[in-house]
């Protein structure tokens, strides 16, 4: 059996592990446009911060590929899938044949059209290791950085560079930062916190055009800058599948076994859709744990095993400097809040279940809440009075606790 | 694999396990030297109390399908061949996704706030066997083969 | 106005070792220790301390010790501090003083003035590691005559017997005075050791019926928890006439110790004081006693030995003689040092006689009257060690009851505050949070350890004397010598002074 995996990050790695849990012998080939072994994409801001040494950034130990008998083709971009011939055409012109193919190409930055953007010299994305490296090289203490996008990627980039440059200004169309992840209250706490660290925000505004070292905003405001970081948004990277005739919605359409509409082609990770238990719909759930679950599921199925991905839940653990933010699920239903100083907690209860939360500050045991969201535990089964105050296992019944702590897990 | 199990009906909530954990992982040669070190080192086991006078200790269950391992953005968490969930301090960046996903509250930020920490059954210190088990005064924490 | 009574003991904390872990605070039911948020340190209130050593034992850095207070009244050999404080206490409260566990006062301990013999040269000692050494005993009436049927076969007329793998049993401690977990530990240890434990007058918890074959159930003056299945479940039935710690008076279990379970087991209302009358109201003579004995025998089909337990009092020998003729199978005698969960201090400290003297006299009297084989004798009231067991048997006992020693094995530190119901060791309490502290898995193992060790020591001492069967040691007073005892004491004990030969 010949397995080919396009892309080489978390979903790809999990796929390798999934395949090897079923098939110890089949030939696995990984085609990666990047030039280094797999790493967790979110790691790049931490590398920049010096929180992890570059040599420790690999997602798996050095011997991983050898141990799993994987042929890794680094720096080889796949340009076409021939589903009929069951071959992947590489940029170099060579072809790689597959029996089972996984597309785990992640996402690519989305850049809206802006006049004069092509003339901006120092502009960067912040998605890959290489992006991070080239941005790092451009930084220096007298540089002013303009970041477009106050989402996760933009702000993680801000955290990484804030101490290294003269000024950082973030522009976002939305009226608040992290608008896709946080609600108003929590967003303003984070914003205030970042402003105290010297970050400038221009919100509810967008760049119309660039001229020279200036950005002209819709509001008429002008922002001089030396370095531009583009972090407006991302789109699933599904061009290969689309061209091959696979069904695409926002991302690659897959079933619960991670099969695309094309035979023997699977997709997993940020490029694929999946069932979102919180939104009760299929959508792209671009978070790392999902990539790991989907990748593994795809791998098992590719190798002839039987596994299903029964859905994921939006989860975010964000840290900006020493401020920690955790969110899960959706922010619907009845909200109970507990806000004091920099501690912020909102729990969302709908139809007798915890469906989501936003927690800033005291993050101890938050996973106990996450489990409630993920498992859809009816709150009538637990002591919500205790649990709503603090995530504790003691809110479970004695029997449940016994199951959790004394049985196989 | 031998795991730590807690017997709720035996736990007194004295929290000696937390202190024995801190001691075991402190590198100190006498427990009283923990004096004044509160906050500099944190336990990897935590005792819960509830109003009905129920107490129990919680530490890593070393889940078979460890969601923390799958969620780690850096590959810092992994499973050993025996099934123990271990964390590589040099790889952990302190994103605390593991804290967000652990259904037991058994992974926590280390005292410096820069990395996560978790119970590794005292294999990462000089004790060799779980110190909390050894010093529980009431046999409420046991280290034995589980029903896996 | 209440007069302040300074604490007898003080908690001393070594600040350089205390790590403020607050284990002492969490473990003290008397609320001695507290973390002071303002001072950022642990503080202790010695006036609340009962000196149970729970905190001392659990302190992980050994930062705590408890010392005798140096605060004293003016030196007085007549009016000691204890005596004065008791007067203050009674003047404060107007109440009868209550105490727990055995008489702590400075009366002679005769066991400590008796020495055991050993073989040298002319009679070989026996190595218990190489030779069989029998410590099993049977308790019950022994037949002295052999009866045969017409065809000459021996007729089995042997009364029911208790079989003990070693001559020690756990004495009566009721569920109520001690905890469920303490009972479980005792029951399981008795089962593993092949001996018996005793329910006391607290009934038998439904969970412990399964240990019935190692259980002695008690019928006392309050008749708490007595019913047909209770009697049926047991290996033997003990009629409690008296208790060494409080001869002549009944029992009193404070209402706060009568929890749901205790109430159910005793068949009495919850939260109401349980009073056992001083006498059995249906027993005013040996004849009355005989009626109860036979009532119980009838109820259990003559299958179970009946024990009659009395306190060691001045005319104990005559009383024992009556009991031996009443149909009882075993007499249990409890000396004045015997323990108690709650007893008026004056009674405990001033009534009764030492078990050693009582035992010697009872054994002697029954022999003189030729009725020694009618009954077995079990003694209680401060059996401290295996050596005491050996000495008691040589003085004429068949077996010993241990209570305090067993509780010590379970963690008791003899703070003598059982009557407060706040036992920090989970023994003499019904508070669920405290009961929990005695893990029966650990407790039973410790009891088994203790008695296994004692049995080894008993065998060593027997071997030393050249005796390989415990039966052969019984009443073998030639194996004993007194030291520092006067003529009267030696005569009562029936032993020679050390230095005198056969």
Q: Give the lowest-confidence range in A227-236, C244-253, C441-450.
A: C244-253
Domain assignment of residue C344, yes or no: yes
User: Which chain A residues touch B54 with a CB distance below 8 Å?
Assistant: 394, 398
What number is the average pLDDT over the span A174-191? 94
> Is A122 exposed, middle or buried, given 0-12, 13-18 or 19+ CB atoms closer than 10 A?
middle
Question: Tens digit of pLDDT for each residue in C73-85?
Answer: 999 999 999 999 9
Question: Tens digit of pLDDT for each residue in B44-64?
Answer: 999 998 877 889 999 999 999
Do residues A313 and A373 make contact, with C-beta atoms less than 8 angstroms apart? yes
Tell me the C-alpha distance between B129 and B118, whole Å.
15
Residues 6+ apart with CB under 8 A from A110: A232, A233, A234, A235
Domain assignment of residue C501, yes or no: no
Neighbour-count burial for A222-233, b at 16+ CB within 10 Å, e otherwise: ebebbbbbbbbb
* Whether the predicted pLDDT of A408 surpasses 80: no
Residues C179 and C44 grouped into a single domain: no
Is the CB of residue B53 less than 8 Å away from at least one CB of chain C? yes
Predicted confidence at residue B53, as pLDDT, reads 83
Residue of B nearest to A11 (CA): B70
Distance from CA of B127 to the nearest CA of A (A): 24
Question: Tens digit of pLDDT for each residue in A96-107?
Answer: 999 999 999 999
Neighbours of A250 (CB within 10 A): 12
Predicted confidence at residue A341, as pLDDT, reads 79
Is the CB of residue C430 less than 8 Å away from at least one CB of chain B? no
Q: Determine, for residues B8 and A401 on separate chains, whether the beta-carbon distance falls below 8 Å.
A: yes
* Whether the predicted pLDDT of C115 surpasses 90: yes
Predicted confidence at residue A409, as pLDDT, reads 62
Q: Are strands A87-90 and A95-97 parallel, antiparallel or unpaired?
A: antiparallel
Domain assignment of residue C105, yes or no: no
Distance from CA of C157 to the nearest CA of B (A): 49
Residues C188 and C87 grouped into a single domain: no
* Whether the predicted pLDDT of A272 surpasses 90: yes
State phi, psi for C497 to the nearest 5 degrees.
Answer: -80, 150
Predicted confidence at residue B147, as pLDDT, reads 58
Domain assignment of residue C148, yes or no: no
User: What is the percent of chain C with per-residue pLDDT over 90, rounded to a whole number?
Assistant: 92
Q: Give the lowest-confidence range in A399-408, C51-60, C108-117.
A: A399-408
* Whether the predicted pLDDT of B148 surpasses 50: no
Task: List Cα–Cα distances, B38 to A359, C21, C40, C220, in angstroms.
Answer: 25, 9, 12, 56
* Whether the predicted pLDDT of C502 surpasses 80: no
User: Which chain B residues touch A153 with a CB distance below 8 Å?
Assistant: none
For residue C236, the SS3 value is strand
* Whether the predicted pLDDT of C44 surpasses 50: yes
Mean of the per-residue pLDDT values for chain A?
94
Residues C26 and C133 grouped into a single domain: no
Q: Determine, for residues B53 and C433 on separate chains, whether the beta-carbon distance falls below 8 Å.
A: yes
All structural domains of chain B, each given as residue ranges with its CATH number in brackets, are 1-58+125-141 (no CATH), 60-118 (3.30.70.20)
Looking up residue C70, the CATH number of its domain turns out to be 3.30.70.20
Predicted confidence at residue C146, as pLDDT, reads 86
Residues C131 and C47 grouped into a single domain: no
- Of the candidates A57, A288, A296, which has its C-beta nearest B71's C-beta? A288
Is the CB of residue B142 less than 8 Å away from at least one CB of chain A? no
Residues C173 and C74 grouped into a single domain: no
> Is B114 exposed, middle or buried, given 0-12, 13-18 or 19+ CB atoms closer than 10 A?
middle
The pair of structure tokens assigned to C79 is: 């009016």
Residue of B nearest to C62 (CA): B32
Residues C33 and C133 grouped into a single domain: no
Residues C179 and C80 grouped into a single domain: no
Please determine, looking at this structure, whether the domain spanning A2-108+235-302 carries the CATH number 2.40.128.20: no
- Of the candidates B10, B14, B16, which has its C-beta nearest C439's C-beta? B10
Please determine, looking at this structure, whether the domain spanning A322-407 carries the CATH number 3.30.390.30: yes
What number is the average pLDDT over the span C51-58? 97
Residues C324 and C446 grouped into a single domain: yes
Residues C32 and C172 grouped into a single domain: no
Domain ranges in chain A with CATH number 3.50.50.60: 2-108+235-302, 117-232
Residues C196 and C75 grouped into a single domain: no
Architecture of the domain defined by A117-232: 3-Layer(bba) Sandwich (3.50)
Between A170 and C143, the higher pLDDT residue: A170
* Whether the predicted pLDDT of B115 surpasses 90: yes
Using pLDDT thresholds of 50, 70 and 90, give the confidence band for residue C143. Answer: confident
Domain assignment of residue C291, yes or no: yes
For residue B8, the SS3 value is helix
* Whether the predicted pLDDT of A160 surpasses 80: yes
Domain assignment of residue C64, yes or no: yes
Residues C215 and C90 grouped into a single domain: no
What number is the average pLDDT over the span A140-146? 95
* Whether the predicted pLDDT of C86 surpasses 90: yes
- Domain hosting residue C442, numbered range: 127-139+168-248+282-470
Output the pTM of the full model.
Answer: 0.91
For residue C244, the SS3 value is coil
User: Which chain A residues touch B90 with a CB distance below 8 Å?
Assistant: 52-53, 56
Using pLDDT thresholds of 50, 70 and 90, give the confidence band for residue A321. Answer: confident
Residues C295 and C438 grouped into a single domain: yes
Neighbours of C454 (CB within 10 A): 24
Question: Tens digit of pLDDT for each residue in A20-45?
Answer: 999 999 999 999 999 999 999 999 99
Task: Report which secondary-structure segment, H or E, holds A21.
Answer: helix A10-22
Mean of the per-residue pLDDT values for chain C?
95
What number is the average pLDDT over the span A240-268? 96
Domain assignment of residue C160, yes or no: no
Domain assignment of residue C111, yes or no: no
Q: What is the DSSP string of A181-218?
A: T--HHHHHHHHHHHHHTTEEEEES--EEEEETTEEEET
Total tally of structural domains belonging to chain C: 2
* Whether the predicted pLDDT of A53 surpasses 80: yes
Predicted confidence at residue B51, as pLDDT, reads 77
Tell me the C-alpha distance between A144 and C53, whole Å.
67
* Residue of C14, C15, C19, C62 for testing the chain B interface, max B β-carbons within 10 Å: C19
């Amino acid at each position: 059996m010949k397995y080919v995996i396009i892309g080489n990050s978390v979903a790809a790695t999990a796929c390798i592990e999934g395949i090897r849990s079923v098939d110890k012998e089949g030939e696995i080939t990984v085609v990666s446009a990047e030039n280094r072994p797999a790493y967790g994409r979110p790691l790049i801001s931490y590398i920049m911060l010096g929180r992890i040494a570059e040599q420790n950034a690999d997602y798996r130990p050095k011997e991983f590929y050898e141990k799993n008998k994987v042929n890794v083709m680094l720096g080889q971009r796949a340009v076409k899938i021939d589903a009929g011939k069951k071959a992947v055409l590489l940029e170099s012109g060579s072809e790689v044949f597959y029996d089972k193919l996984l597309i785990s190409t992640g996402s690519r930055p989305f850049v809206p059209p802006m006049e004069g953007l092509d003339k901006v010299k120092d502009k960067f994305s912040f998605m890959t290791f290489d992006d991070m490296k080239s941005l790092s090289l451009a930084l220096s203490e007298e540089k002013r950085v303009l970041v477009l996008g106050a989402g996760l990627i933009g702000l993680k980039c801000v955290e990484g560079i804030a101490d290294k440059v003269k000024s950082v200004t973030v522009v976002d169309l939305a009226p608040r930062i992290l608008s896709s992840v946080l609600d108003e209250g929590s967003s303003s706490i984070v914003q205030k916190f970042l402003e105290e660290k010297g970050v400038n925000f221009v919100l509810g505004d967008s760049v119309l055009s660039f001229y020279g070292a200036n950005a002209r905003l819709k509001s008429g405001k002008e922002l001089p800058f030396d370095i531009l970081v583009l972090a407006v948004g991302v789109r699933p990277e599904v061009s290969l599948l689309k061209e091959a005739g696979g069904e695409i919605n926002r991302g690659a359409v897959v079933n619960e076994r991670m099969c695309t509409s094309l035979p023997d082609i699977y997709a997993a990770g940020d490029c694929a859709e999946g069932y979102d238990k919180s939104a009760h719909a299929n959508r792209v759930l671009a978070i790392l744990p999902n990539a790991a679950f989907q990748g593994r599921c795809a791998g098992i199925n590719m190798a002839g095993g039987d596994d299903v991905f029964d859905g994921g839940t939006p989860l975010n653990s964000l840290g900006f400097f020493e401020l920690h933010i955790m969110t899960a699920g959706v922010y619907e239903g009845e909200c109970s809040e507990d806000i004091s100083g920099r501690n912020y907690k909102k729990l969302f209860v709908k139809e007798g279940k915890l469906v989501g939360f936003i927690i800033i500050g005291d993050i101890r045991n938050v996973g106990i809440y996450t489990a409630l969201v993920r498992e859809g535990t009816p709150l009538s089964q637990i002591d919500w009075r205790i649990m709503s105050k603090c995530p504790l296992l003691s809110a479970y019944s004695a029997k449940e606790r016994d199951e959790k702590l004394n049985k196989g897990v | 694999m031998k795991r730590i199990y807690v017997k709720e009906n035996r736990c007194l909530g004295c929290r000696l396990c937390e202190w024995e954990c801190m001691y075991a992982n402190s590198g100190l040669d006498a427990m009283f030297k923990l004096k004044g070190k509160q906050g500099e080192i944190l336990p990897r086991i935590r005792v819960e109390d509830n109003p009905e006078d129920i107490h129990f200790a919680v530490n890593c269950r070393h889940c078979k399908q460890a969601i923390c391992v799958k969620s780690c953005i850096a590959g810092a968490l992994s499973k050993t061949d025996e099934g123990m969930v271990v964390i590589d301090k040099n790889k952990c960046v302190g994103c605390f996704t593991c804290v967000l996903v652990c259904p037991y509250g058994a992974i926590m930020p280390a005292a410096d706030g820069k990395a996560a920490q978790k119970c590794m059954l005292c294999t990462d210190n000089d004790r060799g066997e779980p110190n909390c088990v050894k010093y529980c005064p009431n046999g409420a924490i046991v280290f034995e083969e589980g029903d896996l | 106005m209440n007069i302040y009574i300074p604490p007898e003991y003080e908690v001393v904390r070594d600040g350089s070792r205390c790590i403020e872990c607050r284990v002492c605070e969490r473990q003290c039911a008397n609320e001695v220790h507290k973390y002071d948020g303002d001072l950022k340190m642990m503080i202790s209130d010695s006036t609340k301390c009962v000196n149970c050593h729970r905190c001392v034992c659990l302190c992980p850095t050994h930062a705590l010790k408890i010392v005798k207070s140096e605060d004293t009244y003016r030196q007085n050999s007549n009016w000691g501090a204890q005596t004065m404080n008791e007067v203050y206490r009674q003047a404060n409260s107007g109440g009868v003083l209550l105490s727990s566990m055995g008489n702590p006062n400075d009366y002679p301990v005769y066991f400590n003035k008796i020495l055991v013999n050993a073989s040298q040269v002319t009679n070989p000692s026996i190595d218990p590691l190489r030779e069989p050494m029998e410590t099993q005993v049977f308790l019950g009436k022994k037949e002295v005559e052999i009866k045969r049927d017409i065809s000459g076969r021996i007729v089995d007329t042997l009364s029911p017997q208790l079989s003990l793998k070693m001559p020690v049993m756990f004495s009566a401690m009721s569920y109520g005075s001690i905890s469920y977990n303490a009972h479980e530990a005792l029951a399981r240890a008795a089962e593993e050791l092949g001996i018996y434990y005793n329910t006391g007058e607290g009934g038998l918890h439904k969970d412990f019926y399964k240990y019935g074959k190692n259980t002695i159930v008690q019928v006392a003056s309050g008749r708490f928890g007595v019913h047909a299945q209770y009697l049926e479940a047991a290996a033997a039935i003990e009629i409690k006439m008296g208790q060494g710690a409080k001869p002549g008076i009944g029992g009193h279990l404070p209402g706060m110790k009568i929890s749901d379970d205790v109430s159910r087991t005793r068949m009495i209302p919850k939260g109401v004081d349980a009073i056992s009358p001083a006498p059995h109201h249906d027993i005013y003579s040996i004849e009355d006693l005989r009626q109860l004995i036979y009532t119980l025998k009838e109820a259990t089909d003559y299958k179970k030995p009946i024990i009659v337990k009395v306190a060691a009092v001045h005319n104990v020998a005559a009383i024992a003689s009556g009991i031996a003729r009443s149909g009882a199978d075993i007499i249990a005698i409890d000396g004045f040092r015997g323990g108690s969960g709650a007893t008026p201090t004056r009674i405990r400290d001033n009534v009764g006689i030492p078990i050693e003297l009582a035992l010697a006299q009872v054994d002697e009297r029954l022999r003189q009257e030729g009725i020694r084989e009618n009954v077995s004798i079990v003694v209680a009231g401060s059996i401290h060690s295996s050596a005491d067991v050996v000495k008691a048997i040589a003085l004429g006992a068949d077996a010993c009851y241990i209570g305090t020693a067993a509780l010590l094995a379970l963690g008791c530190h003899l703070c003598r505050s059982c009557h407060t119901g706040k036992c920090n060791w989970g023994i003499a309490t019904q508070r669920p949070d405290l009961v929990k502290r005695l893990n029966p898995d650990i407790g039973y193992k410790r009891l088994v350890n203790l008695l296994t060790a004692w049995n080894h020591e008993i065998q060593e001492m027997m071997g030393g004397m050249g005796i390989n069967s415990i039966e052969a040691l019984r009443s073998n007073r030639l194996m004993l010598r007194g030291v520092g005892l006067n003529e009267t004491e030696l005569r009562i004990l029936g032993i020679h002074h050390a230095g005198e030969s056969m």
